Amino acid sequence: MRRRLPISRDRQERLETIELGDPSVSVLLRRSRGVRRLSLSVSRLDGRVSLSIPESCTLAVAQRFVEKHKDWLRATLNSTPPAQRLELGATIPFRGGDLLLQQASAPRTLMREGDVLWIGGPPQNAGKRALVWLREQARSDLHDRATTHAQNLGVEFSRLSVRDTRSRWGSCSHTGALSFSWRLVLAPRDVLDYVAAHEVAHLLEMNHSSRFWAHVERLRPDWRSQRDWLRAHGAELHRYCL
């Protein structure tokens, strides 16, 4: 059974939902004049499926291409970490440990007590409240570590923000603004600290030259092990969602 989804105005189209078993798979169609052949990919971060096609390619041709590669697609998706909703009863990673989301009796309660995050109010709002709390903790941790690293290098950043980025854990702009993924708070503290050091080092070197890595080495002599942890486990941090 297939269901055709509407074409959006921004040239990104939703291909028909293909029933490959339970659950079904939605493929995001990306048209581009620079694309010469069809290319199917699965994001290692969140399992999102994309199909890049030439601008003149028809939906029928794209559909047949996906059908032809459905076995590969299913196998790849099966190897992607399953999504975990932020909801009451869920256990999520937090600063290298685990945190259990539990219902609190008082409606306004939102507090951590050991390995439990107590969340008051309607159960259906627990995930959103937990996400707000996690983002606040991430910003606090990252601001603290970035400030310390900036002082050690004798530099300053203009501002710091946390977002839900998919392609990178952090960034540094030419204006000195630092931006990080809030999901770093789900990782061990040393991993978060390494990413903070990495971006602060960019305040001196907007590249990945030997001079840049020398600054990182000064701040985090063990940076390689933290980078390796992200490469091995980073995708798992993107499975937590509302």
CA–CA dist 163, 181 (Å, integer): 5
Residue pair 25/77 in contact by the 8 Å Cβ criterion: yes
Domain boundaries, the chain: 2-78, 131-241
CA–CA dist 86, 41 (Å, integer): 27
> pLDDT tens per residue, the chain (242 residues)?
333 333 333 344 445 455 555 667 888 888 888 888 999 988 765 677 888 889 888 888 988 898 899 888 888 887 777 789 999 999 999 999 999 999 999 999 999 999 999 999 999 999 999 999 999 999 999 999 999 999 999 999 999 999 998 889 999 999 999 999 999 999 999 999 999 999 999 999 999 999 999 999 999 999 999 999 999 999 889 889 98
Q: What fold characterizes domain 131-241?
A: Zincin-like (3.30.2010)
List all residues 6 or more positions away from 34 whose beta carbon is below 8 Å from its beta carbon.
none
CA–CA dist 14, 181 (Å, integer): 27
Residue pair 127/85 in contact by the 8 Å Cβ criterion: yes
